Amino acid sequence: MTQGPRESVLQRRLTLSELLDVPTFTEVVKGFVELYKIGIKVFDEKGGKLADIKIGNGDFCGYVFSFPEGRSRCTKQVGRVKDGPLAPTQGARLPLLDDSAPIKGLVTSPCFTGLRYLLLPITFEGDVLGRVVFGPFLPAEQKGFPESLTEVSAQLEIGRAQELVEKVRRAPESTVARVMVHFAQVLDTLVAQGQRTLLTSQLHIEATLVQNRELEDRAQKLSEMNVKLKELDRLKSAFLATVSHELRTPLTSIIGYSEMLAEGLAGPMSQEQNEYVRTIMDKGETLLKLISSILDISQIEAGRVRLNFEPSDIIEVVQSSVSSVKPQAQKKGITLDVQLPKEPVNAACDRDRLRQVVVNLLANAVKFTPTNGKITVILTPVSAQDDLGKKGYRISVEDSGIGIPKDQQEKIFQSFYQVDSSSTREFGGAGLGLAIVKSFVEGHGGVVKVVSAPGQGARFIAVLPEKPATPQVQIAPPVQPTPVANDRF
């Protein structure tokens, strides 16, 4: 069942128990009783007892209560004092005061025993919150007992009653009334202070609840938006995968027919025509690589890529990767320095994915290394790796290129991130190579990091375990950037 809005403390009527700190208030009542030797009772509007401090009258009232008629009359008197109207009716009257000015709401309720009670309403901001009962006390002017007491029982001993009633405080009714007014002033102060404290605390709680509801609403909206974004991301990945797949088929045909034309299978061509055809081949292969990268990253984001680990010769993987990028390096006059260990490096890995990691790092280095530069590839033997906390190996690709600013080094592994995102940027690419590298390396249970500075080249290091944790690992999607921006690939 849905609950409606919580009623504000400013809208509801406050109770006396809410406005008073009952333990502290009880100590105040005890202080008045000990000082003036008159019992005090405080009730809330519904008759709930907040304080009840008796003094002196217990033995006398207990003696009267021991008689059946006394018990009946005492019960009736208690009911009148506790729940009766705060008005001069039902046996109550206005108090006897020294001056003629009445005290608003104060009434006297005489008891059949000759004792008396003073009743005063507790009001705050026009609302009656309860009542204060002073007494019983014995009026100073009273001599002997009234007939209403002697009628209780023939067995009632007046001498015994007189002995017991001497323990009850005897005072003029006007004096007790002044004490009661003083107590009422203290009570008003406590109630006012209690209201301020209550309002402060309750309004703070209400403000916190409102903020919590707003946060819950925002969280719900964010959750709904997140679901929509995930669906849009899934549709985007599916769209990229479909488009990339459909583009690869005709592009492969274009490259294939261009190769046949370049080799003269369709007849002789002029030198100029041959150059045009080879340009078509080069651009087609570049486009095919881009489409393949988009397809890879879309499959990774869709969670469709799984790594299949098997024992592999890591030296052979590195050599094969270097061979695939050697033609591009030779075109730019770049020196490739490959440093391999003398002993075999055997480890479990997904051979094709690991080869793609090395090829991407090498192609990235070739692209950002100027003409006649140098690229160094280093494979280490299997040994303890602090980055992994287990045995593994490292593949390092270092270039003498333009370098990467330190504030960009974490971002370059995000999909589609480009350090230079302007339309006039010098280096092409979609910003996917390093995102794929990171996903595949982490899929092996490894880590990839970069050490670089502007103008001082860059060194990418892939640290991989000798034995990945599981034989099959589903690749987690790479981190997505907020705006467009480039890895170095």
Asked, for residue 380, whether it belongs to a domain, the answer is yes
Q: Return the pLDDT at 422.
A: 42
Residue 79 domain flag: yes
Q: Are residues 352 and 318 in the same domain?
A: yes
Same domain, 440 and 294: no
List pLDDT tens digits, range 421-475.
444 344 445 567 788 888 888 888 899 999 888 888 899 999 999 988 765 445 5
Over residues 384-404, the mean pLDDT reads: 90
Shared domain for 286 and 346, answered yes or no, is no
Domain CATH code at residue 237 = 1.10.287
Structure confidence at residue 410 as a pLDDT band (50, 70, 90): confident
- Decide if 483 is inside a domain: no
Residue 38 resides in a domain: yes
Q: What total number of domains does the chain contain? A: 3
- Domain termination residue (choose one: 208, 227, 245): 208
Q: pLDDT band at residue 13, thresholds of 50, 70 and 90?
A: confident
Domain presence at residue 485: no
Tell me whether residue 344 is in a domain: yes
State phi, psi for 39 to the nearest 5 degrees: -65, 150
Domain coverage including residue 246: 210-299
Q: What is the pLDDT of residues 272-326, one digit of tens each?
A: 888 888 888 888 877 877 777 676 666 666 666 678 889 999 999 999 999 988 9
Q: Do residues 70 and 178 share a domain?
A: yes
Indicate whether 289 and 320 sit together in one domain.
no
My answer on whether 183 and 227 are in the same domain is no
Q: How is residue 83 written in tokens?
A: 């729940």
Residue pair 440/354 in contact by the 8 Å Cβ criterion: yes
Q: Has residue 486 been placed in a domain?
A: no
pLDDT tens digits for range 99-123 = 656 678 899 999 999 999 999 998 8
**pLDDT tens per residue, range 33-79:** 998 899 999 998 888 899 999 888 889 999 999 999 999 999 999 99
φ, ψ (nearest 5 deg) of residue 285 = -65, -40
Domain boundary, last residue among 264, 299, 334? 299
Q: Do 343 and 290 fall into the same domain?
A: no
**Pair 365, 402 in one domain:** yes
Tell whether 309 and 457 lie within a shared domain.
yes
* Together in a domain, 53 and 63: yes
* Average of per-residue pLDDT across 332-342: 92
Domain harbouring 447, CATH code: 3.30.565.10
Whether 325 and 462 map to the same domain: the answer is yes
Statement to judge: residues 128 and 69 lie in one domain = yes
pLDDT band at 403 (very low <50, low <70, confident <90, very high): confident
Specify if 7 maps to a domain: no
The domain boundary, picked from 143, 177, 208, lies at 208
